[in-house]
Every structure is written in C-alpha cells, then in structure tokens.
Amino acid sequence: MRINKSKIFARLVIILILLYLVAPVLATVVYSFSTTWVKTILPEGLTFQWYQQILTNQDFMLSVLRSLFLAIMTTLVSMIIFLPVIFYVNVYNSKMKKHLKIITVLPYTIPGIILVTGLMELYQNIPIPKVIVLILAITFISLPLSYQTLDNTFVAHDYKAMFEQAMLLGDGPIKSFIKVILPNIKSSIFISMLLTFATAFGEYVITNLLLGGNFETLKIYMYILMQGNGQASSVLTTIYFVLLVVISAVLIFIMRHYNHHTNKDWKKGL
C-alpha cells in the first residue's frame, strides 16, 4: 500500500509539473489564433489573421534572415575554431585539457552586459564591423556546448590510436584527420553544430546591447512586437517554439541513430 501511494504521489507531482510547464505554451498557442480573449475563459473566436499579418510582414522575414545569418556564421566559426583545438588537446597534448576546461566555464561566469561593455571599449576605435564582433562573442558563449559535445566523443573512443595508425600507413596529419577522424565524429559534429545554431538563433541580450535596432534579429523583433500587439507576439512565440521543437527532434533522431549504429559496431566487435 505504501508503495502504491508513493507511486500515485510521484505521478501526481509529475503531472502537476507538466501542467505547470505546458499550460503557458498551450495558452500562448491558443491566444495566437484568437480574435479576442480578455474576459472569457475561452477565446471568443479563432482566426489565422495574425499569422497572415506576420508571415507577410517584410520586417519579420528580414529579422528571420538576420537570425539565420547570425546562427549560420556563428556555427561555422565555432567549428573552424573549436574542432581543431579539441582534436589537438585529445590527440597531441592531453595536459592542456585542464586549462581548456577552465576556459569553457568562463561564458557562465561573465555576465552579458560586462562582456558587451568590454567588447565595445576594446573595438570602438578599431575599424571592425560590429556584426563580426557579435559573431565572435556568441561563438565564445557557445564554447561550453561545442566543447562538451565534441570532447565526449574523443573520450568515448580511442581516436588517438586510429589517427596514429593512419599516420603509420603513410597519410599525413591533415589527410588522416579528414579520412579517419571526421567520418567517425560526424554525428557529434552535427549535434554540436545544431546546439550552437540554436544558441545563436535565440540570442537576445548581447545582440540587443551591442547592435540594438541596427541589427534586428527575430528575438529583438519579438520583444518590440510584444509591446504593441499581444496576438502578434504570441504568433512569433509559437513560430519560435516550433523551430526549437524541430531542432530538438533532429537532435534526438541523430543521437538515437548514432547510438544504434554504435551499439551495432560494438556487438560486431564482440
């Protein structure tokens, strides 16, 4: 009886937590389709008017394109910088890993406003476009995600031995890296890219402080629209939520696919 009561209590707590988390999302989605919803329990009517207004708005499309540009460039810069470094510390110089781990904690310890203030003071007299400074700043913020995802792959498998064997067979360092290492870590690279992409696509604080209205991304556009039109802001929130769900679904699919093939290879090895 005690076990059954504890199970019922645990399930009740889980249900209440799910309701607490899901209810605001559902209310936002319903509100985005409502004509008016002020003094009634349910909306007085449903309409696609707000979605039509948003999706045909040029400012919305430009904000999406800016966010995509920022996310894609940040992802590319992140991979170009972090992947060789993580490969080097795992294959050539493992003693540097403890120093790199300290660096990966820094994005969590430096507040966004302090980071932006420092960047503005440092680059205000240097003729570098602020968009480039923004991309590098978001790249730095995404370092913990990129590092942890890629480093776990190198820890789980002995890629150092594989790399050394390729070198012994006559391939150079670059050719060995491209032919041996990259094909084996492509799933982790893709997951790291998706996490970085999601971080950059949804970034608001640094973008707003550093560029403000000069570079209106989707998050900044959402905040501006929220002050004037509740339904329209709900539409944007719903669209943004759907994008995050799609990214999460892709991540889950890749991880399951990768784990499935890893388990198969492991069983074959046995």
pLDDT digits (tens, 9 = 90+) for 198-218: 888 888 888 887 777 678 888
Cα–Cα distance, 188 to 254 (Å, whole number):
9
Q: Quick one: pLDDT band at residue 266, thresholds 50, 70, 90? A: very low
Task: Specify the pLDDT at position 258.
Answer: 61
Q: What is the pLDDT of residues 45-68, one digit of tens each?
A: 777 777 777 778 788 888 888 888
Bridge partners, 46 (sequence order): 34
Q: What is the pTM of this model?
A: 0.75
Question: Could you tell me the sign of the dihedral formed by the alpha carbons of 253, 256, 258, 261, in that order?
Answer: negative
List, in sequence order, every residue forming a beta bridge with 238; answer none if it has no partner.
Answer: none
**Hey, where are the domains in the chain?**
63-269
Mean pLDDT over residues 1-27, rounded?
79
**What residues pair up with 34 in beta bridges, in sequence order?**
46
Q: How far apart are CA 173 and CA 180, in angstroms?
A: 10
pLDDT of residue 264: 57
Which of 11-15, 82-86, 157-161 has the weakest average pLDDT? Answer: 157-161
Residue 254 near residue 153 (C-beta atoms within 8 A): no
pLDDT at 257: 67
Mean pLDDT on 6-22: 84
Position 269 scores a pLDDT of 47
**Residue 243 predicted with pLDDT over 80:** no
Give me the pLDDT at residue 270, please: 45
Which three-class secondary structure string do you get for 199-228? HHHCCCHHHHHHCHHHCCCHHHHHHHHHCC
Residue bearing tokens 């150092």: 160
Residues 6+ apart with CB under 8 A from 79: 146, 189, 192, 193, 196
Length in residues, the chain: 270
**Architecture label for domain 63-269:** Orthogonal Bundle (1.10)
The two three-digit tokens of residue 243, written as one number: 């994008």
**What pLDDT, in 10s, does the model give residues 115-133?**
777 777 777 777 778 888 8
- Residue 199: the pLDDT is 84
Task: Point out the least confidently predicted range of 139-148, 173-182, 254-263.
Answer: 254-263
- Looking at per-residue pLDDT, the higher value among 264 and 208 belongs to 208
Between 71 and 112, residue with greater pLDDT? 71
Q: What is the pLDDT of residue 261?
A: 58
66 within 8 A of 202, measured Cβ to Cβ = no
The candidate with the shortest Cα–Cα distance to 90, out of 165, 143, 157, 167, is: 157
Q: At what angle do helices 186-201 and 143-156 cross, to 10 degrees?
A: 170
